[in-house]
């Protein structure tokens, strides 16, 4: 077996890289950082003490469920009603709106298109507004307003008044999809978002099913009533939509940092969990450079179009009531395919393949709609419903863009652009249903078939672009080394775009020999996968070539490190061991650390094993710095404190740091999950990306900064370490409190 220290590449590949940046000042980038670029999550973490928090304080699975039940139902309702409200004209088309409003020629198609024209126009200001307002509150306000616009459609009396209500509905509904995309990215990791997107996308399917039955029910309202059936339908659903918007105002939290239903520990655990996205959560500083990058970014130019199904079925000879009911199965198709796509991506990450896959039944449905004779109405109905399997491709396009567009402004604008592409398709779509082509609408049906194939083509094209972009980033980073802008600050909250941040890799998939790959580990930017040929590959944003250098040195010292081990930690690790077994493991670790600390740096430089920039892990994230020629420079690096630090505390912390320590080989992240135990033996110490040459106390103080699955793990420090460094430990605990996050 082997291990990769570069995304999706085997260690057998050429890993020789010359680092010509040994003398690069480590603080230059950090000092030039604009505080407006910092995400509000960064500020929140900086103000809250995490020293008392362990990994097992918060159960992430339980936390996700808690969040799901809080926000997903409202998001599902908003998206479902948004879809239903804008397609009510579809249902009203078989309920008499044409006759009541005296619509002739292409009036009906124009009324459908004008909604999306307004929808598209509103995208421009919303790209700016969404970064300046609280997204959940903005969504709630808009839901109330588009509900009012929907209800007002019941009062229309001619073609022009219908256009007015459709325009206002389009203006107010325009930001709904971008809002939901941004909310999802605030609460979930990229991998978790796929299944959550599928949940709120099920709102479309629910809307299709309920809309069909609502249309069917209201068509049975007697004509001698004060209002026509379609008017009652618009009025009822408009009121319901506004009510859901009002609920959203009180139920949806503004952000993870202000969520009252979460404890402080849960908020911190959530922020640290989703930091891997590197997309940020909330930043009100609009960056025009990111807008320019978004406009020029090829990955943004991708979209799909919707359909016009009730009219198609109605012209097969069925009554309006039956036409409405026969459209209901399309909702079931949407729900099933959305869930399959969401969970498929959740566990395989093959977004492009799933998009292409769901285009296939869409193409079959389009073919049945286009070419099945009217004498085969069942085939046409099946095709009309089957074509809705294309809907999950929109969901995947949304989620793919949100996963790969990094930078707050770029992410907001990208969500608007993607929704705008949908609007463009929806403007064109109704215009293909020209009055001269009825009742079969053959050109429109062929257009639907063509769009299904086009969706698959662009999915493959986008995958090829991401593959090329990732390989290009690999080559640039290999040549330049780690991005100096990551020094002394969190890349996760720096609001850099995916093009500015070399460590941000586009989400792809891995396949070998067309067989599925088993996912062993996927956490915090590091993925470990088992290939069909029994090769284990480690990859991800956080993997660096310096780990390879550390592993080589560990092998020379006969220290257990990843090679061909088949070990496991067990379900609870040290928590399930007897006291005697724990003591034995501690003894083995003590011997390993004694060996490591006996190896001193020949140059005295504090650096990575390759002599370049080192990386370190703290409770709130990862930092990088160095190399430092002496301990004095290193002390200045670790004591970079926030501006509000009292002078006495600043002086006290700095005065405690000495400059006469030995510089020794250190692992830097001796947490439980990095110690592999088999048959009560330390079979391997893994994850050497933070290893390097550090002061002799470094391993000891870092032991108390990294996460611990079991609360009592740190109680064994006196048995694990050959020597304790109490003074340095106290100093660094103070630095954790006052240091720049």
Where are the chain's structural domains? Answer: 60-468, 544-738
DSSP codes joined into one string, 348-377: H--HHHHHHHHHHHHHHHHHHHHHS-TT-H
Contact assessment for residue 697 and residue 725, using Cβ atoms and an 8 Å cutoff: yes
What CA–CA distance (Å, rounded) separates 67 from 48? 21
∠ Cα 549 550 556 (to 5°): 95
Where residue 621 falls (left for φ over 0; alpha for ψ -120 to 50; beta otherwise) is left
The CA-atom distances, in angstroms, between 25 and each of 31, 143, 244, 610, 633 are 11, 51, 54, 17, 10
User: What is the pLDDT at residue 153?
Assistant: 93
User: What is the pLDDT at residue 401?
Assistant: 67
Contact assessment for residue 63 and residue 266, using Cβ atoms and an 8 Å cutoff: yes
User: What is the pLDDT at residue 306?
Assistant: 33
Residue 90: HSE in the Cβ half-sphere, 13 Å Cα cutoff:
25
Residue 637 CB burial class (10 angstroms; 0-12, 13-18, ≥19): buried
Model confidence pLDDT, tens digit, residues 555-587:
778 887 765 333 333 344 566 678 888 888 899
Question: Which class is domain 544-738?
Answer: alpha beta
DSSP codes joined into one string, 550-607: HHHHHHHTT---SSS------SSGGGGS-HHHHHHHHHHHHHHHHHHHT-B-SS--BE
Strand order in the sheet with 536-539: 518-523, 526-530, 536-539
List beta partners, residue 681.
678
Four-residue CA torsion sign, 131, 134, 136, 142:
negative
The CA-atom distances, in angstroms, between 65 and each of 59, 72, 197, 341, 403 are 10, 10, 15, 20, 21
What CA–CA distance (Å, rounded) separates 136 from 301? 26
**C-alpha closest to that of 106 among 447, 413, 430:** 430
Model confidence pLDDT, tens digit, residues 268-308:
888 888 776 666 565 444 444 434 333 333 333 333 333 34
Pairing of strands 675-678, 681-685: antiparallel
Residue 250 CB burial class (10 angstroms; 0-12, 13-18, ≥19): exposed
Give me 71's structure tokens.
């926000």
The residues near 343 (Cβ < 8 Å, ≥ 6 apart) are 194, 195, 198
Q: Which CATH superfamily is domain 60-468 in?
A: MFS general substrate transporter like domains (1.20.1250.20)
Give me 22's structure tokens.
């040994």
Model confidence pLDDT, tens digit, residues 242-254:
999 999 999 999 8
- pTM above the 0.75 mark? no
User: For tokens 């849960």, what's the residue?
Assistant: 266
Collect the ranges in the chain with pLDDT lower than 50. Answer: 1-36, 55, 283-320, 476, 479-517, 532, 564-572
What CA–CA distance (Å, rounded) separates 38 from 496? 10
What CA–CA distance (Å, rounded) separates 481 from 86? 51
The residues near 262 (Cβ < 8 Å, ≥ 6 apart) are 63, 66, 256, 270
User: What is the pLDDT at residue 665?
Assistant: 94
The CA-atom distances, in angstroms, between 444 and each of 163, 174, 364, 449 are 23, 25, 15, 9
Residue 622 — φ and ψ, nearest 5°?
-115, 145
List beta partners, residue 616.
623
User: Which pairs with CB-CB distance under 8 Å and at least 24 residues apart come from 325-329?
Assistant: 325/212, 325/213, 325/216, 326/212, 326/381, 326/384, 327/208, 327/211, 327/212, 327/384, 327/385, 328/208, 328/209, 328/212, 328/213, 329/385
68: how many CB neighbours lie within 10 A of its CB?
Answer: 16
The CA-atom distances, in angstroms, between 722 and each of 590, 656, 696 are 6, 22, 11
| Axis-axis angle for helices 329-348, 377-386 (nearest 10) | 40
């Amino acid at each position: 077996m082997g291990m990769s220290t570069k995304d999706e590449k085997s260690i057998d590949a050429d890993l020789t890289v010359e680092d010509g940046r040994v003398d690069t000042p480590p603080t230059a980038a950090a000092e030039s950082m604009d505080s407006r670029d910092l995400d509000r999550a960064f500020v929140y973490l900086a103000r809250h003490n995490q020293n008392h928090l362990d990994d097992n304080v918060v159960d992430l699975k339980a936390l996700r469920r808690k969040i799901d039940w809080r926000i997903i139902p409202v998001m599902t309702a908003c998206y479902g009603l948004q879809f239903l409200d804008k397609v009510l004209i579809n249902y009203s088309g078989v309920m008499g709106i044409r006759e009541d409003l005296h619509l002739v020629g292409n009036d009906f198609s124009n009324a459908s298109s004008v909604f999306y024209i307004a929808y598209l126009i509103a995208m421009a200001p919303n790209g700016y507004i969404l970064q300046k307002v609280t997204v959940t509150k903005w969504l709630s306000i808009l839901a109330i307003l588009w509900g009012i616009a929907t209800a007002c459609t019941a009062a229309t009396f001619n073609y022009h008044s219908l256009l007015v209500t459709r325009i206002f509905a389009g203006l107010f509904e325009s930001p709904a999809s971008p809002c939901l995309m941004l909310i999802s990215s605030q609460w979930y990791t990229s991998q978790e978002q796929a299944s959550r997107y599928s949940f709120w996308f099920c709102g479309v399917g629910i809307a299709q099913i309920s809309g069909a039955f609502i249309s069917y029910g209201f068509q049975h309202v007697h004509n001698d009533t004060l209002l026509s059936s379609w008017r009652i339908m618009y009025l009822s659903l408009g009121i319901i939509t506004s009510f859901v918007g009002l609920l959203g105002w009180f139920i949806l939290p503004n952000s993870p940092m202000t969520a009252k239903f979460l404890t402080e520990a849960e908020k911190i655990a959530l922020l640290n969990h989703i930091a891997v996205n590197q997309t940020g959560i909330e930043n009100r500083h609009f960056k025009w450079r990111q807008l320019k990058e978004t406009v020029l970014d090829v990955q943004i130019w991708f979209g799909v179009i919707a359909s016009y199904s009730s009219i198609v079925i109605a012209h097969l000879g069925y009554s309006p009531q039956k036409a409405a009911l026969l459209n209901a199965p399309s909702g079931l198709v949407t729900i099933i395919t959305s869930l399959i796509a969401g969970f498929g991506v959740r566990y395989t990450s093959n977004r492009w393949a799933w998009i292409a896959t769901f285009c296939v039944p869409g193409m079959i449905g389009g073919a049945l709609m286009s070419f099945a004779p009217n004498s085969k109405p069942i085939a046409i109905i099946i095709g009309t419903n089957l074509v809705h399997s294309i809907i999950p491709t929109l969901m995947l396009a949304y989620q793919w863009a949100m996963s790969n567009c990094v930078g707050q402004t770029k992410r907001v604008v990208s969500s608007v652009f993607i929704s705008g592409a949908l609007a463009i398709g929806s403007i064109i779509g109704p215009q293909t249903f020209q009055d001269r082509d009825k009742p079969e609408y053959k050109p429109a049906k062929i257009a639907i078939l063509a769009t299904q194939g086009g969706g698959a083509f662009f999915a493959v094209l986008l995958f090829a672009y991401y593959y090329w972009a990732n390989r290009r980033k690999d080559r640039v980073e290999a040549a330049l080394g780690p991005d100096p802008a990551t020094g002394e600050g969190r890349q996760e909250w720096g609001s850099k775009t995916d093009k500015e941040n070399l460590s941000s890799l586009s989400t792809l998939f891995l396949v070998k020999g067309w067989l599925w790959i088993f996912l062993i580990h996927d956490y915090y930017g590091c993925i470990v996968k088992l290939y069909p040929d029994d090769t284990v590959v480690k990859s991800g944003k956080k993997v660096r070539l310096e780990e390879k250098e550390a592993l080589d040195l560990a092998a020379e010292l006969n220290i257990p490190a990843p090679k061909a081990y088949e070990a496991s930690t067990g379900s609870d690790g040290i928590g399930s061991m007897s006291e005697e077994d724990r003591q034995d493991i501690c003894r083995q670790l003590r011997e390993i650390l004694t060996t490591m600390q006996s190896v001193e740096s020949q140059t005295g430089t504090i650096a990575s094993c390759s002599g370049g920039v080192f990386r370190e892990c703290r409770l709130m994230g990862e930092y990088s710095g160095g190399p430092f020629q002496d301990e004095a420079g290193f002390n200045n690096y670790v004591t970079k404190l926030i501006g509000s630090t009292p002078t006495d505390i600043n002086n006290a912390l700095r005065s405690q740091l000495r400059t006469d320590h030995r510089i020794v080989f250190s692992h830097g992240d001796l947490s439980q999950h990095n110690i592999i135990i088999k048959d009560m033996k330390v079979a391997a110490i893994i994850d050497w990306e933070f290893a390097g040459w550090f002061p002799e106390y470094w391993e000891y103080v870092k032991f108390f900064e990294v996460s611990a699955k079991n609360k009592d793990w740190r109680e064994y420090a006196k048995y694990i370490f050959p020597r304790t460094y109490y003074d340095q430990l106290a100093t660094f605990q103070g630095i954790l409190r006052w240091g720049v996050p």
